[in-house]
């Protein structure tokens, strides 16, 4: 089986262009300072923090909660309400398996299980090498081609569980999907 | 005023009333689940749907304001059908087995299903993944039974100002609970149990100690004694069909005896003891501040309410030096039972088991604190809530209503009226004033019937001032001093009071804090359902218990005097210090 090695390191390189974690936290303090006293400032603060960190790690949430005088439970309540926010680092490739009615009856569930097995992660998780995240979708409007899987913006139709491994390999080889631009 | 017709009954209601309020005014019942008294309606559960003439859809009565000449039908066929369907949908997602559920007798969902004539559940819903959270000593959460009404969210966040519980996630996936859908011990929950008291179903309950208590009672080698908190006697009756506010002190003692306890004692006894220790501590602090000009922490706060202690340790560590070092009456009782009483009956401390009956879930937490033990033996072994005691009485087949009134046992059963009022917000303060004023002046507290009216009742933060006149010689430094006191109940009110003091300083000398709205009578372990009308009835029952006694001041209790003479020496003495006092520490949130 092909190892899930990164084709090109996009994160975590040691060169000078990546800000250090300490620098990110300085930026976070600025974000909190900027939004703390604005009505409805929590959501834009979370959005900005997520674009700084790529996701919302627990220490970031705790700092934001403290800064806004809210409890951690309330802030995670907001974070988990909007699908835009993520508590886990997202992989380079976001795999969304449709479990809408048409896809479900035509084997979407089995396709999902095949992805779970191949990537060794559950729904909502990311592979340790941050290549893949796995999520479930609710109809991408392509029911005629069920079961459907979306990888970033590319639609894969009539996916068969047995071919999932091969699809993953093709993605890793760079041939099967457009890589999303990094969020600003 | 607005004119409205409900079920062809015409009435006038104040502007801004909701349909639900109007219906209640007319004596018409509309079922509710998510609605919480005095909190803004969130309109989440839809179980209160009614028909409004002219409206396209059925309206949630809890969140729909009355408009002029509105015509409402609460009982039309479409309204009934819609409400039934809401309950059917809730049941279709509900993972619970009523006969084995701790709520089977007082579950609101079960009652609604019955009232609405739900005969079967026509939907096949996806049930939540069951997860039992028993991470804390006080509470058990069962997500599969949660109907997501969010009452607990409102109580924990708005009434208690803690905010440990929030909806996490969205849609069907929503789980009501702590951050990151972790267990309760991962957040700064103070264990007050107000969430458990208001939950309509079996999704949050106390962690039961009933099996351990039965086992101890059945063990012939152990000497098992029980203490009952002041608030139990004004509420336990509700579990047996009595009206709220019925005093059942005598029947309670009789029931405890029939359950097999070897000594039926009273937390009231150590409430009197608390007054002597805490009153002396206050006067000592005042002397240090006014005479010796030492930097001592004032105002002093009461320490009886363990949820408040947790709250201060998490959120207001700067006030920890201000909290009285007195253990709570529950813990003082345990310490006295396993020392003084053990000696009297010739038993070793480890052979004595102390069971408490408390209106409170935080008392379960308090009892297992490592500081709350003497030479490695815990002061209190097991804590039952009022509700758990009622269950044991039922399990034992005792017909509560036909029991005779019996007294508590000596030597830890006698108490003054001042001890009774520990159950009410303002009561500890009033009890302390009754004794402190008399110690200082030699005269009785100069207020009507010994009640300090300004600090009684359900106002959020209350205050009173009392000028000391005619102080005895040894207390002459207090002559003319205006003693200022404040009382808060409910941690949301307490948070406001503390923030105010933080910003503006404190004019007060002494502050009573009780965790639960109304005081212990409204505790998280009391019979369900508790609202303000029930709180007021329990409060007045407690005041009549006090007034029914000849002895209404703690220092007059002859058995307390004997305890000092034979064993403790004097208040704040060395023995007291060792057995009856404690310390607090900041805890990370
Ligand atoms: S919560 Fe209510 S409906 Fe659910 S199992 Fe318990 S008693 Fe039954
Ligand atoms: S016990 Fe009190 S603090 Fe803890 S979750 Fe319940 S209401 Fe909130
Ligand atoms: S735990 Fe109880 S009070 Fe809280 S949302 Fe669930 S059912 Fe409602
Ligand atoms: S009580 Fe009205 S919507 Fe819940």
Residue nearest atom 8 of ligand 1, based on CA coordinates: B98
A87 within some domain: no
Residue B110 alpha carbon, nearest atom of ligand 1: 3
Kindly tell me if the per-residue pLDDT of A81 is higher than 50: yes
Whether residue A136 is found in the same domain as residue A168: yes
How far does B46 lie from chain A, in Å, by closest CA? 21
Best of B170, B180, B183, B316 to disrupt the A interface (most A CBs within 10 Å) is B180
Chain A: residue nearest B176 by CA?
A: A77
Whether residue A97 is found in the same domain as residue A144: yes
Q: Is the ipTM of this complex over 0.85?
A: no
B483 lines ligand 3 (CB under 6 A): no
B271 lines ligand 1 (CB under 6 A): no
Closest CA to B195 of B588, B515, B513, B562: B515
Which residues of chain B fall short of a pLDDT of 50? none
Inter-chain residue contact B166 with A71, CB threshold 8 Å: yes
Q: What percent of chain B has pLDDT over 70?
A: 100
B33 lines ligand 4 (CB under 6 A): yes
Whether residue A98 is found in the same domain as residue A38: no
Inter-chain residue contact A75 with B179, CB threshold 8 Å: yes
The structural domains of chain B, ordered by start, are 2-75 (3.10.20.740), 88-206 (3.30.70.20), 215-269+330-402 (3.40.50.1780), 274-305+312-325+416-580 (3.40.950.10)
Q: Which of A71, A75, A81 sits opposite B170 (nearest CB)?
A: A81
What are the residue numbers of the active site of B?
Answer: 278, 281, 304, 324, 363, 366, 371, 520
Whether residue A61 is found in the same domain as residue A109: no
Query: What is the CB-side half-sphere exposure of residue B549 using CA atoms within 13 A?
Result: 21
Contacts of B128 (CB under 8 A, 6+ apart): B93, B95, B143, B144, B146, B175
B147 lines ligand 3 (CB under 6 A): yes
B48 lines ligand 4 (CB under 6 A): yes
Inter-chain residue contact B169 with A58, CB threshold 8 Å: no
**Distance from the alpha carbon of residue B77 to the mean position of ligand 2, in angstroms:** 39
A86 within some domain: no
**Exposed (0-12), middle (13-18) or buried (19+): which is B60, by Cβ within 10 Å?**
buried
A14 within some domain: yes
Which residues of chain B does A74 touch, with a Cβ-Cβ cutoff of 8 Å?
157, 163, 166
Whether residue A73 is found in the same domain as residue A44: yes
Best of A77, A85, A86 to disrupt the B interface (most B CBs within 10 Å) is A77
pLDDT in tens, B107-136: 999 999 999 999 888 877 777 778 999 999
**Distance from the alpha carbon of residue B141 to the mean position of ligand 3, in angstroms:** 9
Q: How far apart are CA B248 and CA B276, in angstroms?
A: 27
Q: Which residue has the tokens 């893949």?
A: A132
Q: Which of B166, B170, B177 sits opposite A74 (nearest CB)?
A: B166
Pocket test for ligand 2, best of B178, B183, B189 (most atoms within 8 A of CB): B189
Last residue of a domain, one of A81, A108, A137: A81
Q: Is B19 helix (H, G, I), strand (E, B) or coil?
A: helix
Which residues of chain B does A61 touch, with a Cβ-Cβ cutoff of 8 Å?
179
How far does B316 lie from chain A, in Å, by closest CA? 14
Last residue of a domain, one of A81, A105, A131: A81
Whether residue A69 is found in the same domain as residue A25: yes
Q: Which of residues 458-517 of B touch A (CB under 8 A)?
A: none
Residue nearest atom 3 of ligand 3, based on CA coordinates: B199
**Distance from the alpha carbon of residue A6 to the mean position of ligand 2, in angstroms:** 46
Residue B204 alpha carbon, nearest atom of ligand 3: 1
A109 at interface of B, judged by CB pairs closer than 8 A: no
Best of B42, B129, B160, B163 to disrupt the A interface (most A CBs within 10 Å) is B163
How many structural domains is chain A composed of?
A: 2
CATH of residue A154's domain is 3.40.30.10
B206's tokens: 């106390």
A97 within some domain: yes
Q: Which of B157, B180, B188 sits opposite A76 (nearest CB)?
A: B180
Whether residue A40 is found in the same domain as residue A66: yes
A137 within some domain: yes
Which residues of chain B does A72 touch, with a Cβ-Cβ cutoff of 8 Å?
178-180, 187, 589
Whether residue A68 is found in the same domain as residue A97: no
Q: Among all ligands shown, which has an atom nearest to the Cα of B202?
A: 1
Q: Return the pLDDT at A174.
A: 78
Q: Return the pLDDT at A175.
A: 66
Q: Is B4 helix (H, G, I), strand (E, B) or coil?
A: strand
Q: How far apart are CA A135 and CA A123, in angstroms?
A: 5
In degrees and rounded to multiples of 5, residue B464 shows phi and psi of -150, 155
pLDDT in tens, B352-383: 999 999 999 999 999 999 999 988 899 999 99
H, E, C per residue of chain A: CCCCCCCCCCCCCCCCCCCCHHHHHHHHHHHHHHHCCCCCCHHHHHHHHHHHHCCCCHHHHHHHHHHHCCCHHHHHHHHHHCCCCCCCCCCCEEEEEECCHHHHHCCHHHHHHHHHHHHCCCCCCECCCCCEEEEEECCCCCHHHCCCEEECCEEECCCCHHHHHHHHHHHHCCCCCCCCCCCC
Q: How far apart are CA B249 and CA B539, in angstroms?
A: 15
Whether residue A62 is found in the same domain as residue A133: no
Q: Per-residue confidence at A179, pLDDT binned at 50, 70, 90? A: low
Whether residue A103 is found in the same domain as residue A35: no
A33 within some domain: yes
Inter-chain residue contact A58 with B180, CB threshold 8 Å: yes
Q: Return the pLDDT at B172.
A: 78
Kindly tell me if the per-residue pLDDT of A9 is higher than 50: no
A50 within some domain: yes
A76 at interface of B, judged by CB pairs closer than 8 A: yes
A134 within some domain: yes
Last residue of a domain, one of A31, A54, A81: A81
- Tell me which residue range forms the domain holding A140: 93-172
Whether residue A77 is found in the same domain as residue A103: no
Q: Return the pLDDT at B278.
A: 97
Inter-chain residue contact B164 with A80, CB threshold 8 Å: no
Q: Which of A48-62, A124-138, B374-388 has the lowest mean pLDDT?
A: A124-138
Closest CA to B104 of B358, B305, B387: B387
Chain B: residue nearest A87 by CA?
A: B180
- DSSP letter (8 states) at residue B52: E
Q: How far apart are CA B504 and CA B498, in angstroms?
A: 10
b/e B291-320 (16+ beta carbons within 10 angstroms → b): eeeeebebbbbbbbbbbbbbbbbbbbeebb
Contacts of A52 (CB under 8 A, 6+ apart): A24, A27, A28, A31
Whether residue A115 is found in the same domain as residue A151: yes
Model's pTM, two decimal places?
0.89
How far does B357 lie from chain A, in Å, by closest CA? 32
């Amino acid at each position: 089986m092909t190892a899930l090695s990164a084709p090109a390191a996009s994160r975590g390189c040691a060169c000078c262009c990546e800000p250090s974690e300490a620098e990110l936290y300085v930026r976070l303090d600025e974000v909190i300072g900027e939004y703390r006293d604005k009505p409805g400032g929590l959501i834009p603060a979370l959005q900005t923090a997520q674009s700084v960190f790529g996701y919302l790690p627990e220490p970031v949430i705790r700092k934001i909660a403290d800064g806004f005088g809210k409890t951690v439970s309330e802030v995670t309540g907001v974070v988990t309400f909007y699908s835009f926010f993520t508590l886990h680092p997202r992989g380079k490739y976001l795999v969304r398996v449709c479990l809408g009615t048409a896809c479900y009856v035509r084997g979407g569930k089995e396709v999902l299980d095949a992805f779970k097995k191949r990537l060794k992660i559950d729904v909502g998780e990311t592979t340790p090498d941050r290549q893949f995240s796995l999520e479930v979708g609710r109809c991408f409007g392509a029911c005629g081609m069920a079961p459907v899987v979306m990888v970033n913006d590319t639609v894969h139709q009539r996916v068969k569980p047995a071919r999932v491994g091969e699809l993953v390999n093709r993605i890793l080889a760079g041939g099967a999907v457009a890589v999303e631009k990094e969020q600003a | 005023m607005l004119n409205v017709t409900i079920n062809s009954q015409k009435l006038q209601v104040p502007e801004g009333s909701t349909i639900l309020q109007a219906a209640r005014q007319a004596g018409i019942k509309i079922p509710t689940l998510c609605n919480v008294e005095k909190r803004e309606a969130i309109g989440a559960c839809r179980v209160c749907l009614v028909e409004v003439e002219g409206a396209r859809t059925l309206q949630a009565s809890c969140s729909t304001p009355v408009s002029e000449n509105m015509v409402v039908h609460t009982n039309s066929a479409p309204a009934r059908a819609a409400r039934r369907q809401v309950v059917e949908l809730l049941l279709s997602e509900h993972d619970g087995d009523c006969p084995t559920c701790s709520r089977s007798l007082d579950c609101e969902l079960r009652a609604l299903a019955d009232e609405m004539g739900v005969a079967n559940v026509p939907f096949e819903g996806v049930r939540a993944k069951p997860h039992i959270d028993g991470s804390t000593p006080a509470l058990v959460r069962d997500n599969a039974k949660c109907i997501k009404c969010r009452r607990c969210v409102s109580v924990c966040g708005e009434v208690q100002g803690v905010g440990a519980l929030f909806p996490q996630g969205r849609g069907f996936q929503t789980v009501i609970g702590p951050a990151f859908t972790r267990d309760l011990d991962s957040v700064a929950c103070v264990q007050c149990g107000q969430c458990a008291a208001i939950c309509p179903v079996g999704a949050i309950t106390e962690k039961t100690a009933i099996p351990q208590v039965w086992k101890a009672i059945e063990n012939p080698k152990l000497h098992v004694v029980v203490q009952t908190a002041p608030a139990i006697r004004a509420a336990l009756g509700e579990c047996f069909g009595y009206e709220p506010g019925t005093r059942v002190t005598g029947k309670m003692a009789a029931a405890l005896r029939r359950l097999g306890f070897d000594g039926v004692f009273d937390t009231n006894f150590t409430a009197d003891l608390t007054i002597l220790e805490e009153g002396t501590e206050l006067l000592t602090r005042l002397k240090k501040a006014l005479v010796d000009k030492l930097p001592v922490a004032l105002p002093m706060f009461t320490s009886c309410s363990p949820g408040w202690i947790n709250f201060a340790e998490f959120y207001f560590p700067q006030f920890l030096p201000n909290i009285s070092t007195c253990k709570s009456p529950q813990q003082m009782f345990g310490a006295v039972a396993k020392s003084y009483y053990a000696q009297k009956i010739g038993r070793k401390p480890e052979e004595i088991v102390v069971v408490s009956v408390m209106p409170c879930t935080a008392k379960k937490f308090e009892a297992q604190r490592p500081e709350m033990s003497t030479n490695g033996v815990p002061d209190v072994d097991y804590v039952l809530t009022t509700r758990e005691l009622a269950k044991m009485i039922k399990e034992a087949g005792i017909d509560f209503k036909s029991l005779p009134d019996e007294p508590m046992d000596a030597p830890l059963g006698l108490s003054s009226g001042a001890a009774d009022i520990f159950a009410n917000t303002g009561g500890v303060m009033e009890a302390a004033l009754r004794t402190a004023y008399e110690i200082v002046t030699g005269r009785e507290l100069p207020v009507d019937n010994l009640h300090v009216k300004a600090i009684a009742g359900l106002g959020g933060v209350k205050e009173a001032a009392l000028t000391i006149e005619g102080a005895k010689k040894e207390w002459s430094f207090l002559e003319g001093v205006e003693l200022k006191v404040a009382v808060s109940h409910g941690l949301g009110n307490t948070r406001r009071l503390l923030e105010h003091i933080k910003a503006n300083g404190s004019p007060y000398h002494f502050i009573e804090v009780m965790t639960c709205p109304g005081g212990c009578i409204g505790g998280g372990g009391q019979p369900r359902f508790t609202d303000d009308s029930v709180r007021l009835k329990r409060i007045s029952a407690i005041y009549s218990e006090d007034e029914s006694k000849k002895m209404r001041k703690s220092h007059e209790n002859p058995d307390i005097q004997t305890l000092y003479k034979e064993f403790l020496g004097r208040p704040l003495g060395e023995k007291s210090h060792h057995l009856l006092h404690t310390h607090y520490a900041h805890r990370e949130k």
